[in-house]
Amino acid sequence: MPGPQPGAKSEVALSLEVNAPPLRSSRYSPLGDQIFTWAMLACGLCVLALVGLIIYELVTKSSNSWHAFGMNFFFRSEWDPVNEQFGAFPFVYGTIVSSLLALVIAVPLAIGVAVFITEMSPGWLRSPLAFTTELLAAIPSVIYGLWAIFVLVPLIREYVEPFLARHFGWTGLFEGPAYGIGMLAAGVILAIMVVPIVSSITREVMTAVPRQQREAVLALGATRWEMIRTGVLRNARAGIMGGIILGLGRALGETMAVTMVIGNRPEIAKSLFAPGYTMASVIANEFSEATSDRYLSALVEVGLALFIVTIIINMLAQVLVWTVTRGTPARANV
């Protein structure tokens, strides 16, 4: 009997039987396996087909508007359904400003939380804290919106906006009447929603940094903060960047909470107190009321742009996270 074939990996046992037919039960028929393989393949192809369908739907349904306005669509500020003149610039502006505002608030907090949980927290507190921050991600967007309308917005109107106007009004970012509703409220509620994403990715990449890195830096006489800065954060920075970009992707596509507090006016104002409008919000508010073909098509084109941007952002984020966590064992969900 021949020995194990070179190169045979886990099928050593089978390779001993080279001359005999493969060991199968008497009821074995290849048909069952074939049907099974094809059925599972069909499910897998469904995923491909879905993304294909999304792209097809968005592209075909937006062609009317694309042919009418071309690339200019994204640089025009007019949004006039009655005269069928559409330009998406105020929505693009509102989406970018509200998302960036959210990141400015959320990123330091999220990194602070991640640093505390992975490097400073006593062991017994680690798991409950991680679970609690992740619970923030499980709250539906519409509930954040509800809470924002009745709790956050009055708070911002009564306290935050007068304070900002008094002390930072000279920057021009905080002036005008304090409605509460507006870009600032949208940025704050988005920040609350983005924190758990950024902090859980940051935690993941920080955990992936080898222990020896920390020990080596500590052995050189570093304080804990110096150890975190040079030993951990510097090694994990690409992954943290990935987490931030992932948070940006979430903020860009977030619909309900923003729609409920941003004010929904297609205006471009320097002040963060002013109402605005985002790409996702305009679709949510106007899609089911869009009567003419071109109106609908313009809304779908806004959706297409949002789709392309979020896809690129998510891909970029994944590559960045992957560069840090690659090669480390499956993460333990702290």
Partner 1 sequence: MSSPADNPSEFTAPQISLWRRGLNNLVTVAAITAVIIVLVPLIAVFGYLVYKGIGSINWAFLTQTPKPPGEVGGGMANAVAGSALILAIGSVVGVPIGIGAGIYLAEFGRNRLGDLIRFTSDVLNGVPSIIVGIVAYGLVVLSQGHFSALAGGAALAIMMIPTITRTTEEMLLLVPHAVREAAYGLGVSKWRTTLSITLRTATSGIITGVMLAFARVAGETAPLLFTAFGNQYWNWKINQPTAALPLQIFTYAISPYDEWHKQAWAGALILIVLIVLSVSAVRFVAGRGMLKGAG
Q: Could you say which residues in the range 248-307 bind partner 1, by CB under 8 A?
A: 249, 252-256, 260, 280, 283-284, 287-288, 299-300, 303, 306-307
Structure-block tokens of residue 105: 């608030």
List the x/- string, 17-36, binding to partner 1 by CB under 8 A: ------xxx--xx--xx-xx
Residue 15 near partner 1 by CB under 8 A = no
Measured CA to CA, the distance from residue 233 to residue 237 in angstroms comes to 6
Cα angle 271, 308, 324; round to 5: 90
By CB under 8 A, how many residues form the interface with partner 1?
94
| Residue range at the interface with partner 1 (CB under 8 A); choices 81-89, 131-139, 170-178, 206-214 | 131-139
Among 4, 5, 17, 44, binds partner 1 (CB under 8 A): 44
| Residue range at the interface with partner 1 (CB under 8 A); choices 77-85, 204-212, 266-274, 325-333 | 325-333
Say which residues have a Cβ less than 8 Å from residue 114's Cβ, sequence separation at least 6.
Answer: 198, 199, 200, 202, 203, 206
The string of DSSP codes covering 239-284 is: HHHHHHHHHHHHHHH--HHHHHHSB------SSTTS-B--HHHHHH
Among 16, 61, 96, 176, binds partner 1 (CB under 8 A): 61
Among 8, 51, 104, 319, binds partner 1 (CB under 8 A): 51
Among 4, 63, 78, 108, binds partner 1 (CB under 8 A): 108
Structure-block tokens of residue 271: 């002040």
Residue 319 near partner 1 by CB under 8 A = no
284-289 — which CB contacts under 8 Å span 24+ positions?
284/255, 284/256, 284/259, 285/259, 286/81
* 205 touches 111 (CB < 8 A): no
| Positions 165 through 224 that interact with partner 1 (CB under 8 A) | 192, 195, 199, 218-219, 221, 223-224
CB of 35 to partner 1, least distance (A): 8
In the complex with partner 1, which residue's Cβ is closer, 58 or 274? 58
